[in-house]
Structure 1
Amino acid sequence: MTIDFKKDILPHAIGVAIFYAIVALYFSPVVFENQVIFQGDILKWEGSAKEALDFRESTGEEALWTNSMFGGMPAYFISLEFPGDITNAIVSVLTLGLPHPVNGLFLGMVAMYALLISFRVRPIFAILGSLAFAFNTYNLLSLAAGHNAKIWAECLIPVVLLGIHLAFEKKRILGAAILALGLLLQFKFNHVQIIYYTFLICAIYVLVRLIFEWKKEGFPSLAKTLGFLLIGAILALGGNIGRLATALDYTKYSTRGEVTIESKAAGLDKDYAFGWSNGIIESFTFLIPDFYGGGSNTPLPKNSASEKTLRQQGLDPAQINGFVQGAPTYWGDQPFTGGPIYGGVILVFLAILGFWAAPKQSLITFGAIIILSLMLSWGKNLAWFNYLLFDILPGYNKFRAVSMALGMTLFAIPVLGMISLEKLVQEQKLKSLYMAGAVTGGLVLLFILGAGMFRFEGAADQGLPDWLVGALREDRKSMLQASALKSLGFIAAAFALIFFNLKGKISELILGAGLFVLVLFDLWSINRPYLNEDSFQDNPSKTYFVETPADAEILKDDSYFRVLDLTEGLTSAGKASYRFHAIGGYHGAKLRRFQDLIDYRLSGELNDFVTKAQEGNFDFEGIQSFNMLNTKYMIAGNAANSVFENPDANGPAWIPSSIRPVGSNQEEIDLLGEINTKTTATVNTQEFGEIKSGSGSIDLISYAPNHLKYSANMSQEGLAVFSEIYYPAGWTATIDGKERDILRTDYLLRGLNVPAGQHEIEFRFAPSSYYNTKTPMIIFQYLIILGLIGGVFFTVKERNGRV
């Protein structure tokens, strides 16, 4: 086989170089100056992961458990590594050494480019579609927020579909290996919701393909293809078996898993799951980015109606500027948003072109993905559909923020758009262009002329004076019209370029380059207000986690305890977790029993405590659930005198003088509100049998997140209670070296029946889901690499055989 450098290599090399340059230019402080993006969620993650990271650095081992938040939980979804795991090296090679997390956008562009090339889209159009896919506002807003795993999972969707597509195109070994690689990396980044959406995309593609090709290909050929794809999927699962096994272990005990309180339902609550539901009309932000006012806090243009009104009211310039620079312009259905969901109006125009220009199979496949994903994103705004799926679709009730389904939309639109453009240029049908231009341009024009049909009312209007609300709504209307006028201009420019190409006035190269420049300018200008030079810092962690006088005061105590930061509350991650074992935190899948404790005990106790404390009455006896979690300190500010020591904290372990038997979880958690947790303990006798109270003392003698030692001196055999979270999948206990059953007491704490006398007690966390899967996992990863090498070899060999 003779390789034509100009045809076979140069266009693709140019494409990769363009992708690299775009990432390097947009994120130049990250790429060239070693700065990082200020990502709020990543900083919160860093706080929650600090104990596990420090343990790894000091010992070279995995902690697997952390007490940094919620009193303690597995570290599987916080920070987890496997010795010998080669996925980090694979990512580094595929992204040409670009720094995390911006390297995900580069890989997304390369992956989409490869997918579009496999659909026989010419390189210049494939470059255009790849840019639009990776640089949509959803990805960059997610990057600014710190949702790095989500971005990576979305940018790997083209890799997964590329593998499936190649397998159906008779490149079965290569296709199966690429599928395995894509899934391997998706599972690595562990964003289960995006993986779920990826499976929906693939299911639609495979189903449509089978329907269209059943008679032509025949059952044996299609079955062979599906068999190879199954092997690829199995390899990917094997290459992540450790991550999957630990996740499966944890899920059933998390808020995504089994019910504990009998009156509750399994999975997430509907109100919680559908809290971030995209408005049906809000979907027009795909055409007009500022349709719903941009973000929840968006700068207004100079001399806006709001600014003029504030000036007329006599406010000082600082107040006016403060409001204008972060005005509540968003008036959509979601609680708040960082910005609009937008992937380029030109891409929407080209996708609509698909109704007349795209091959029927592609139109049905990607049209179905677009429609389904929009319907999923509407959540509670399309309740009859989404509540039904929530109840009957396996695993779907484990997810929240259903607006995330728009990632599917933003994937399918560029694919359908580029396939449509390629087909139009090949067939030269002006009528298709006219129809798409009329529909898209006419719709945008309608919103320009008919903007007055909307009331522009938003939840943010509550609490604002009427005179300001009126001006703010006028600004929202102006934003919609200005944004729509801009979109109309882009549609007209794209229409003109395509028209002149179809008329033979310009070449396909000029057409593609012109569209690329338009889309790049469009997306760059929309994204820049949300992620710009102000988003980059040298070391945001240093500032965010700077030690306060309050921290220094607590650090004087070298005993074992937990801390509650009153300024953060129970479900806000962060700063307390960085230095201390914390009661609060943030995680999308905390332990269900801890969530129950928050709902039924902790929130109420905390509210009562704060109310009394504001009156000068520090009622530490009234926070018995906090006491049993050994909450020794509360932080109310940064000053040293903002630290309050709790004299009633139960300590690391204690011997209760009485046992209250219970028969249900509801009874047990209710009883916690009545007892003194230091002197009385609850035990569910239906699960653990009759347990007697004892007497004696018990002390913690050494601590590591996965290994705790105690010294017990029992004058009478009985129950010992430990201020550690009960988790049955991995913790083992020994008394003088002999393994003993761990009991659950006080709804979610660990307990042991300790015999009379002096004893050494040890708790170790060594889950089999981690230790038994490490070696097989690495073997499967190398099998995937061998599969890729074999796939390339046989593909080249087959091509040589045809030459």
Structure 2
Amino acid sequence: MKQNWLKAILPHVAAIGIFLLLAVVYCSPVLEGKIVNQSDMKNVKGMAKEAKDFYEATGERPLWSNNMFSGMPSYVVFTGPGANKVAYMNRVVTLNLPDPINMLFLAMICMYLLLCILDFKYWIRVMGAVAFAFCSYNVIIIDVGHVTKMYDIALMPAVLAGIILTYRGRLLTGAALTALATGMLIYNNHLQIIYYTLIMVLCLAAGAFVHAYKEKQLPQFFKASGLLAIAGGLAVLTSMDSLLILHEYADYTMRGSKSELTLDQDDVTQKKSTGLEIEYAYDWSYGVPESATFLIPGYVGNSSAQKLSSGSNFGEQMISLGVQQAQVDQFLSQQKLPMYYGAQAKGTSGPVYVGAIICFLFVLSLLLVTSWQKWWLIAVTAIGFILAWGKNMSFINDFLFYHLPLYNKFRAPAQALVLPSLTFVVLACWGLQEVANGKHTKAELLTKLKKSLLITGGIIVFFNLISIFFVGFSSHSDAGMLQYFAQMMGGEENGKLLIRALEKDRNSLLLKDSFRSIVFIAIAAGAIWAFLQDKLKWPVAAFIIAAAVTIDLVQVDRNYLNNDSFVDDMTFMQELTPSAADQQIKQDPDPYYRVFNVATSPFDDATPSYFHKSIGGYSPAKLWLYQDLISHQIAKNNMHVLNMLNTKYFIVPDQKSGQPVAQRNPDAYGNAWFVKDIVWAPDANTEMKTLDYLNTRDTAVIDKRFQSQLGGNFKPGTDSSASIKLTKYGLNSLAYTSNNSQEGLGVFSEIYYPAGWKAFIDDKPADIVRVDYALRGVKIPAGQHKIDLKFEPATFFKGQKIAGISSTLLLLLVIAAFGWELFTQNKKEETVVKK
């Protein structure tokens, strides 16, 4: 029995060893202590800096942060350790490996698990695992720092594995695996990937229902589905510490709510959406022909910024225009050029390439696979492409955007290509399994092999012709580059020559990569043919195909994530080193003021938030009211608005040196003040327009909806010595003292957020009203008073309790289920031995 156990386990241990070796070799600079130079992670460090510092200094959970957008909840960035015990499983299943080795390893392990449950042959499992992990999209998002997205992509196959296992009758084990994988998926919290996973699960469930109906097995289907629903519900409960509070927060953000303003809307754009605007959501819509990148990596020119050699058409054109070879070499070594000419107007970091061999085997699977599971996989493939095309298939996607639940919360439709990236691999493996399982005659297999070759080769030729004769090789970026080249080369005609040379390089890349894909397809087809002709044993043929898939993908991936992508900590932190302007400002002993850095892109860069409490920042989920303030006031440099936000310093580029310099703003209002008068606005539009000219130091504009909270006849009073002073600064609480001989309205330079902020005057509750569209106001009695503003979101603490209890329960049930499986399996083996 021991020998049988070892025989069963050793191939899996070997597979784990292969995956570990591949991930470590690919990311070998990590062994030298280097990290990936991820641009988005630099933003994350800026976003989380104040919250992390606060937690380390006080041990208190930071629920609010003031270092971005004048203040916002820190739920989307950092709140300290969570209550969800499933978090520990991230380390367990990745062997506590460092980033990004762990992500690639996890993706391979999860796909390998799925292919094991589908009972594919060994080298097919290994091939599929490697193909899934090293899809170019995955290494590209690792390179830019989309960590949670990569974790969730990696976990998608494990969720499917648990569901398929359950529908096959392994109820306890399948449900346990489903609960664990789904719990981890939700914990890692990339909501868009979770949404796509749900779509895939629904397609699988629909396919299983149809199959059960045809096989007259509906009772078993409903039993399994009920158990899966319980498993999924428990998995959701484990992440209630984040889900509940994010659901509440979404009601106030660009992702989940709608601005009250209609100032910029006409009749056409008045379509109701409780999420993002459709134009914003459709950024990075994949082009329909661009989908050929699955098969030809350079189909639309790879990325928007690439280095070319002096031997390129562009380099030779520069030389022909009189530029010295040394200068051309230097220019091209430093300057990245826009090779991308696809449909995504904002550019791309690289294509979604699943591998030429995988595409070829996918076509073969369509001709060979007869399992019912083929159809739900095809459905998921089609859905993924349609969603990814976004505005390029607007007659379908516009309808989905406005009617499909929650779909309007997400942007960048191209992310939906994670669905066909997964299904292509599974079906490719299935096609190869059909070749090896002996169910088809040799003649049939040779015929289908030939057809697959012709179809795949025909697709390559077709898309080449489409590009050459219909699409062309011009890019959205060419107009801007023409101006740049014209200035550089002394005239527009020379600039046009360089643009045409760039187009030739794009054409050359297409032809080169098309030929490259044909070569890899020929290698795989040749190995299959040799196996069918008894010239190669199956393990040898399968190994050749797996090796070719690995070489193909790694070669392409190295264009995006390579040794140059890794840097030491010092280099990574260089952009987070304070400038002279930052250092000058940090000398100010005032504990709480704001800085507006216009020497950078203020609303797309969180680097200033690393050093200061910033007017700007970076977040995909800004509060709507603050985005309105940016669009209608801050962008117009309205000083009254900037003063009311306590903008004590500006950082601007020096006119001579271009270096950032600090400028003190003596007119900033401070942390809080009393106003002399109120302008009552009938609606949000009027409130915002009033800010165009209002002296916010003396007068506040308030929407009439808050009038009852202040008292219908309330008129603020103030004397010449009236003041409100900040006495204690914290992220979750602020303390003030006020002095005013009259009943007045205190305006606080704090962003209005009703879901948790509470006011107390001398420890007694007081109402907070929205003032000046985005700030907090409190009616304060005459005399001297202590005022506290406290952030106490009940939803957060409720979620913590639910997550702590349910995640502990989930892990215990998973352990019990797998333990029971091992126990019953041993009992069966003992019974067989006795017989």
User: TM-score category by the smaller chain?
Assistant: over 0.9
Counterpart position of 1:460? 477
* Alignment of 1:382 onto 2:393: yes
Q: 2:341 aligns with which of 331, 334, 354?
A: 331
Amino acid in the other structure paired with 1:216 = E
* Alignment of 1:592 onto 2:624: yes
Cα 1:240–1:438 change in 2 (3 A) is same
Amino acid in the other structure paired with 1:25 = V
Q: 1:403 aligns with which of 378, 402, 414?
A: 414
The equivalences for 1:590-669 within 5 A come to: 590-605=622-637, 622-637=638-653, 642-669=661-688
Shift of 1:511: 1.8
Amino acid in the other structure paired with 1:584 = G
Query: 3-state DSSP class of the match of 2:231?
Result: helix
Shift of 1:541: 4.3
Alpha-carbon distance in 2 for matches of 1:359, 1:116: 17
Spell out, residue by residue over 1:431-453, the C-alpha distance to the aligned partner (whole angstroms, 9 max, x if none): 22121111112322445677632
Deviating more after overlay: 294-303 vs 278-287: 294-303
Cα 1:360–1:169 change in 2 (3 A) is closer
Query: Would you say the 8 A contact 2:137–2:353 is kept in 1?
Result: yes
Alpha-carbon distance in 1 for matches of 2:159, 2:744: 56
Alpha-carbon distance in 2 for matches of 1:373, 1:52: 37
Amino acid in the other structure paired with 2:730 = A
Query: Would you say the 8 A contact 1:445–1:488 is kept in 2?
Result: no
Counterpart position of 2:234? 235
Q: 1:693 aligns with which of 700, 716, 738?
A: 716
Q: 1:497 aligns with which of 513, 523, 527?
A: 527
Query: Would you say the 8 A contact 2:87–2:184 is kept in 1?
Result: no
Amino acid in the other structure paired with 2:321 = Q
Shift of 1:314: 1.8
Shift of 1:81: 3.4
Counterpart position of 2:150? 151
Spell out, residue by residue over 1:255-287, the C-alpha distance to the aligned partner (whole angstroms, 9 max, x if none): 122323253643111110001100001000111
Alpha-carbon distance in 2 for matches of 1:231, 1:23: 35
Alpha-carbon distance in 2 for matches of 1:318, 1:577: 39
* Alignment of 1:322 onto 2:344: no
Q: 2:573 aligns with which of 519, 542, 547?
A: 542
Alpha-carbon distance in 2 for matches of 1:688, 1:213: 61
Counterpart position of 1:142? 141
Deviating more after overlay: 74-83 vs 678-687: 74-83
Shift of 1:384: 0.2
Cα 1:6–1:349 change in 2 (3 A) is farther
Counterpart position of 1:674? 693
Amino acid in the other structure paired with 1:163 = G
Runs of at least 4 residues off by over 6 Å: 638-641
Counterpart position of 1:162? 161
Cα 1:319–1:556 change in 2 (3 A) is farther
Alpha-carbon distance in 1 for matches of 2:170, 2:814: 12
Counterpart position of 2:747? 721
* Alignment of 1:551 onto 2:582: yes
Query: Would you say the 8 A contact 1:260–1:665 is kept in 2?
Result: no
Deviating more after overlay: 318-327 vs 303-312: 318-327
The alignment's C-alpha RMSD in Å is: 1.8
Shift of 1:457: 1.0
Shift of 1:130: 0.6
Alpha-carbon distance in 1 for matches of 2:332, 2:454: 39
The equivalences for 1:354-369 within 5 A come to: 354-369=365-380
Alpha-carbon distance in 2 for matches of 1:591, 1:3: 61
Cα 1:405–1:300 change in 2 (3 A) is same
Shift of 1:405: 0.3
Amino acid in the other structure paired with 1:24 = V
Alpha-carbon distance in 1 for matches of 2:311, 2:37: 30
Counterpart position of 1:609? none
Alpha-carbon distance in 2 for matches of 1:602, 1:582: 13
Query: 3-state DSSP class of the match of 2:633?
Result: helix
Q: 1:432 aligns with which of 435, 442, 448?
A: 448
* Alignment of 1:25 onto 2:25: yes
Shift of 1:219: 3.2
Give the alignment's TM-score, normalised by structure 2.
Answer: 0.91
Deviating more after overlay: 549-558 vs 442-451: 442-451
* Alignment of 1:133 onto 2:132: yes
Counterpart position of 1:344? 355
Query: Would you say the 8 A contact 1:699–1:711 is kept in 2?
Result: yes
* Alignment of 1:373 onto 2:384: yes
Spell out, residue by residue over 1:278-311, the C-alpha distance to the aligned partner (whole angstroms, 9 max, x if none): 0001000111000111111122245111111111
Shift of 1:394: 0.6
Counterpart position of 2:485? none
Query: Would you say the 8 A contact 1:173–1:787 is kept in 2?
Result: no
Shift of 1:10: 1.4
Counterpart position of 1:412? 423
Alpha-carbon distance in 2 for matches of 1:218, 1:493: 43
Which structure 2 residue ranges, 5 or more long, are not aligned?
A: 263-269, 483-494
Shift of 1:208: 0.9
Deviating more after overlay: 427-436 vs 491-500: 427-436
Counterpart position of 1:274? 282
Shift of 1:369: 1.0
Alpha-carbon distance in 2 for matches of 1:451, 1:707: 60
Query: Would you say the 8 A contact 2:310–2:332 is kept in 1?
Result: no
Query: Would you say the 8 A contact 1:425–1:502 is kept in 2?
Result: no
Which structure 1 residue ranges, 5 or more long, are not aligned?
A: 606-621
Counterpart position of 1:612? none
Query: Would you say the 8 A contact 2:209–2:218 is kept in 1?
Result: no
Spell out, residue by residue over 1:107-141, the C-alpha distance to the aligned partner (whole angstroms, 9 max, x if none): 11101000011011112101100101011110111
Query: Would you say the 8 A contact 2:212–2:218 is kept in 1?
Result: no
Q: 2:603 aligns with which of 551, 566, 571?
A: 571
Query: Would you say the 8 A contact 1:305–1:474 is kept in 2?
Result: yes
Query: Would you say the 8 A contact 1:114–1:162 is kept in 2?
Result: yes
Counterpart position of 1:54? 53
Shift of 1:177: 1.6
* Alignment of 1:300 onto 2:316: no
Alpha-carbon distance in 2 for matches of 1:444, 1:259: 44
Query: 3-state DSSP class of the match of 1:378?
Result: helix
Query: Would you say the 8 A contact 1:41–1:145 is kept in 2?
Result: yes
Alpha-carbon distance in 1 for matches of 2:156, 2:368: 25
Counterpart position of 1:353? 364
Cα 1:685–1:446 change in 2 (3 A) is closer
Counterpart position of 1:173? 172
Alpha-carbon distance in 1 for matches of 2:761, 2:460: 73
Spell out, residue by residue over 1:537-595, the C-alpha distance to the aligned partner (whole angstroms, 9 max, x if none): 11144312112110111011121210111022331222210011001111111101111
Cα 1:633–1:219 change in 2 (3 A) is same
Alpha-carbon distance in 2 for matches of 1:771, 1:147: 28
Amino acid in the other structure paired with 1:300 = L
Q: 1:562 aligns with which of 584, 594, 597?
A: 594
Deviating more after overlay: 779-788 vs 69-78: 779-788
* Alignment of 1:477 onto 2:485: no
Cα 1:213–1:754 change in 2 (3 A) is same
Q: 2:738 aligns with which of 698, 712, 715?
A: 712
* Alignment of 1:391 onto 2:399: no
Amino acid in the other structure paired with 2:644 = M
Spell out, residue by residue over 1:382-401, the C-alpha distance to the aligned partner (whole angstroms, 9 max, x if none): 00010010010010011000
Q: How many residues align?
A: 786
Q: 1:442 aligns with which of 431, 437, 458?
A: 458
Alpha-carbon distance in 2 for matches of 1:144, 1:289: 17
Query: 3-state DSSP class of the match of 1:133?
Result: helix
Give the alignment's TM-score, normalised by structure 1.
Answer: 0.95
Query: 3-state DSSP class of the match of 1:794?
Result: helix
Shift of 1:319: 5.1
Deviating more after overlay: 100-109 vs 684-693: 684-693
Query: Would you say the 8 A contact 1:39–1:145 is kept in 2?
Result: yes
